[in-house]
Amino acid sequence: MQKNEQIQILQHLVSLNSVNGNEAAVASYIQKLFANHGIDSKLIPYAPDRSNLIAEIGSGEKVLALSGHLDTVATGDPAQWEFPPFDAHIENNQLYGRGAADMKSGLAAMVITFLTLADQKTTLNGRLRFIGTVGEENGAMGSRMLTEQGVADDLDGMVIGEPTGGNIVYAHNGSLNYHVFCQGKGAHSSMPEKGINAITNLIKFVTAEATAFDDAPVSPELGPLVHNVTVFNGGEQVNSIPANAELQGNIRPIPEFDNAAVIKRLNEVVDRLNAATKATLKLHVDYSFKPIISDQHEPLIQLTKQIADAEFGHAIKLEVIHGATDASEFTKSAHTFPVMVYGAGEWSAAHALNESVDLDQFIHVQHVYQQLAEKFLA
């Protein structure tokens, strides 16, 4: 496949608006590409206009998975973009658009790998599995659904195609999102003693949360646990004591202070405040993704590094990131397998205004995927 054809596939993927949904359009486009090259695939619906996609080539017991999510985050104000976010505009060898880095460049490179191997009739001593997921950016419901259906139960390795700048990410934090709801009692603002101010009492949680994890250990791989209150809402009218308020927070767990420990600590804070105030605080955990650490010396990681070093002409790095990926769901499988994150585009470009990917890097990463498939399943 010529370079211009590869770039056209990436452009088409970026032009499809799959912001927090509508993954069916992306899945259908990829499925048609697969069909045109003789590759069978299966759509697995999650909800209306939202479908996962599974495909496989080769034969044998050993299985390598290339996985990517089909959705993107929101664009923000399109008027602030240098180029419209779904135009997939190319300038100075950069392709601009929402999802260009996170992660339609990785997705396109994985798809192109399948098409090329199929066209070349490459013999694989094992199976190469494509896994396209819905909703990674807002709950990872696709990878959760597929894991429950057993898609990871026979894997010997997995590559998640998030943007890593061509470097290998062998570990990342977990991610835990939660709500705290506060129930107070409404009253006229001239008589605050008749009510219970939900905002005032919820602020007590914000204050307590700031130091609640001071005793958490520091991970030698991932560093400190990171925690933030990020959304706060309360009150309806300026001359009324608010009866309700709520907040949201995000925490990045580490293996040394994992998701269960985080949830336990949050509950302890809520229980302590409830015992000391007339207001009622209630915790709800929205999403809980565990941290991932693979051994840097895993054959999958070392083979990828060997290939990437040669492809890029310099030693690529082994790194960690503090975001979370679908790997947190796939590794909930009872089956244990190595997983790494490897893709085109800079991690700093993900979710950013004027998101872009370097096209040479995109082509290099596709070559690495292809050689990895050929050698891992040699």
| Assigned CATH topology for domain 3-173+291-376 | Aminopeptidase (3.40.630)
**pLDDT tens-digit profile of 111-158?**
999 999 999 999 999 999 999 999 999 889 999 999 999 999 999 999
Share of the chain above pLDDT 70, in %: 100
Return the CATH number of the domain spanning residue range 175-289. 3.30.70.360
The per-residue pLDDT for range 148-193, each reduced to its tens digit, is: 999 999 999 999 999 999 999 999 999 999 999 999 999 999 999 9
> So what's the pLDDT on residue 139?
87
* Three-state DSSP state, 170: strand
Work out the average pLDDT over 14-37: 97
Q: Which two tokens stand for residue 312?
A: 């890029």
User: Encoding tokens for residue 314?
Assistant: 């310099």
Which residues fall within 8 angstroms of residue 2, CB to CB, at 6 or more apart? none
Q: Is the peptide bond before 103 cis (omega within 30 degrees of 0)?
A: yes
- Residue 46: the pLDDT is 97
Q: What is the pLDDT of residue 323?
A: 86
With cut-offs at 50, 70 and 90, classify the pLDDT of residue 1: confident
- Report the candidate in 328, 315, 307, 291 with the shortest Cα–Cα distance to residue 374: 307
246 to 64, 178, 231, 251, 358: CA distances (angstroms): 44, 11, 8, 17, 41
* Residue 161: both structure tokens together: 């195609």
The domain limits of the chain are 3-173+291-376, 175-289
Give all strands (DSSP E) within 70-103, no chain letters. Answer: 89-91, 94-96
pLDDT at 226 over 90: yes
Q: How far is it, in rounded angstroms, from Cα 126 to Cα 124? A: 5
State the average pLDDT for the chain: 97
The sign of the dihedral angle between the CA atoms of 100, 101, 104, 109 is positive
